[in-house]
Amino acid sequence: MENLDQKIKEFGDYILQTPEFIEFKKAAEKLEKDKDAMLAIQDVQDRAEAIYTSEESDSEVSDEQRQGLNEAQAKMMANEICMEYFKKEDIAITAASKICDSLSEVTGIPFADGSNCDCDDCGSDCDCCE
């Protein structure tokens, strides 16, 4: 088992050295250093969470709340650093999916197919089931 653990670590290290993951890491580092970008993302997350909480407690979501979220999303999407990060993230996720598909094909074992998904929305467009 120790040999397997070592090979898994080596494989993970190899994957992290691919261009897709290197570019994603650079974009993440750039994002973390940009206060405006981080604040824009946090504002969207906070506003979305407030709306979600209201909906879960059967409270009415105001037009002002929805408008605030829309404005925060527009501001985030106008931020080049945020958009670069999201683009590089999508590329890395696609690469990871291809890696899992290849592993599944070689081994005959389904990797990352959502079978271990524990979300309540399995089968929908949730991130973990894609």
Residue 120: the pLDDT is 53
Average of per-residue pLDDT across 96-121: 75
Total H helices, total E strands in the chain = 5, 0
* Sequence-ordered list of residues with C-beta below 8 angstroms from that of 9, at least 6 positions apart, any chain: none
Residue 119: the pLDDT is 55
What tokens were used for 47? 């506003």
What domains can you pick out in the chain, each with its CATH number? 2-129 (1.20.1500.10)
Tens of pLDDT, residue by residue over 44-101, are 999 999 999 999 998 999 999 999 999 999 999 999 999 999 999 999 999 999 998 8
Tens of pLDDT, residue by residue over 25-43, are 999 999 999 999 999 999 9
pLDDT of 130 higher than 60: no
pLDDT of 114 higher than 80: no
3-class SS letters over 21-83: HHHHHHHHHHHHHCHHHHHHHHHHHHHHHHHHHHHHCCCCCCHHHHHHHHHHHHHHHHCHHHH
Residue 107: the pLDDT is 87
